[in-house]
Amino acid sequence: MASGYLITGGLHIDGLMDTFDGIFAGKKKRLKAMKDSKVGSFGVQALVFITLIQIACILKIQNLIIFVLPICLFWGRFSNLFFIEKFKYMSYKKKSISHKKFWNGFKKESLISIFFLLTFIAYQLVSITSQAILIKFLILILIGIFLSYSIPYILGNKIGGFNGDACGASVVLVETAMLFMHAILL
């Protein structure tokens, strides 16, 4: 967990905290709360709950984390492709660069990710020896698709669009939900 925070500079977890502060600030104050550099109580609560859930999942998964973590990270980042495709960009800055400025559409943007996913699935299908493990693996792939679409959909509808903070929140929430699902099914 700490290495992820260090690599990203805490960017995604900051987005999670800002998004939760914005959601609970109400519709009129949402963007102002997300822009505020101070973390509010809902942002802190989100950080604590997510951190506790992630620690519990990592303790449950233990040695399998080296196999589980890359797929959780994949789905977290893949969720932003759905987010950007589905919602309009919201900014609290007068001059900001939208993620959609250079957007080429979901098909083109997701091509490399889908190639990676299909390669990973093919490798797993060849290497899995147990039918029970294969079924769990396929269920987890379907759950990943569902979560990477539904979480940004819920967030986007709740805040009325997307921005960098909401994308960060989507990454963290999808990763955590996938960790949780792996902890339950493994």
Distance CA 150, CA 173 (A): 11
The tens digit of pLDDT for each residue in 87-105 reads 988 876 665 566 677 888 8
pLDDT value, residue 93: 66
Q: What is the pTM of this model?
A: 0.90
Instruction: Identify the pLDDT of residue 130.
Output: 85
pLDDT given for residue 26 in this prediction: 86
| Residues of the chain where predicted confidence (pLDDT) is lower than 50 | none
Closest-CA residue to 50 (of 163, 168, 142, 141): 168
Alpha-carbon distance of 170 to 15, in angstroms, equals: 9
Q: 22-45: per-residue pLDDT in tens?
A: 999 988 888 888 888 889 999 999
pLDDT score recorded for residue 34: 87
Q: Give, in order, the Cα–Cα distances in Å from 168 to each of 22, 73, 157.
A: 13, 12, 16
Give the residue among 150, 143, 158 at the shortest CA–CA distance from 42.
158
Q: Taking a C-beta distance cutoff of 8 angstroms, is the pair 22, 35 a contact?
A: no
Amino acid of residue 10: G
Query: Token match 């992630």: residue?
Result: 54
- 149's enclosing H/E stretch is helix 131-159
